[in-house]
Amino acid sequence: MARTENLKATDSLLLLGRLDGRLLGSACADIFLARSRLAGAAALAGLAGVPIGVSDLQRWIAGRSPPPRASEGLNDPISVAAVFHLALARDEDIRDPVNQATLNILRSVLDDRAAATAYGSDDLAHFGPMWRQIRAEADAPFPTADLLSIAERVFHLSALTNPAPQSSVDVVSFDGRSLDLPPRQRDRLWLIAVAVPRMLYSAGFTSRFIPSLVLLPKFLPPSPAALAVIMADAIGKMARTGLKELDAIERAASKTLVDRGATRRSKAPLLARLQLTYPGLQTSAVSKLLNVTPQGARKLLEASAQHSSPVLV
């Protein structure tokens, strides 16, 4: 990297360190990390060729819609349900208790395994072996804890997952002409991007796993050094956004709890936190999460609507 690029990378990593430190002491770290997981999944879906927004995932998790793009009749290269499942499965063995708790809460509302099987069983069969190979390679120790080492690992993984050369396909058109078409390849870089937040954690850049740190562009640049510059820029942007979002979450959570005036035994404060995480939760989801009857869940939601605070989206 050039001197100016080194300075930018240092500034970006300082911002990331500030965000990481804030999360260690924040009472809203679970909300932030859950929303970060959705932002990361949306970024991964975009890399996989199925662009969606965080709000699309929120509606699905809340029980208000099927998986994004599942009912639109689009010829997508992979289902969003399969992308989301593989992203969650990558986090299953995380030892951080806050991260693990947020994953457990999500999976008590949404069965991502069943959804992936229903909407993307062929995708799981196609990408599953590569995903397992990338996971094993990505978890290997890094020789040095810097962005260049991570960028080099990304290039290594890309070489491992590049498909073997295939011959072109002969197609005969309706008017009798013979066409020689190259084989259609499905994007694989998103599979590597799934592992980038974990690699940042393993290399010591963060003290806990932050799922939104996907960082990779749609196409790899010519060299690991160029990728390191791109990743440093992405870290800076995501850390700035993350700090602003954490501030907004903490303000909203504080206002919500004060406004509710809840008793110690009340489930309203927990519901308020869940609604900040997954806006628009339906009665069935609230019933599962809070272990109450559907009637009790409806009453809680009605009370919540009467004391509603600004919703983060």
d(CA 32, CA 53): 17
pTM score, whole prediction: 0.86
Helix (H) or strand (E) holding 150: helix 147-161
Among candidates 151, 58, 132, which has minimal Cα distance to 92?
Answer: 132
Return the structure tokens found at 56: 């699309």
3-state helix, strand, coil in the chain (%, to 5): 65, 5, 35
Average pLDDT across the chain, whole number: 86
Closest-CA residue to 238 (of 98, 36, 4): 36
144-153 tens-digit pLDDT: 989 999 999 9
- Taking residue 261's Cβ as centre, other Cβ atoms within 10 Å add up to 9
pLDDT-above-70 percentage for the chain? 85
* CB burial readout 136-154, b (16+ within 10 A) else e: eebeeeeeeebbbbbbbbb
pLDDT of res. 1: 54
The reported pLDDT for the residue numbered 182 is: 45
User: pLDDT tens-digit profile of 98-111?
Assistant: 999 999 999 998 99
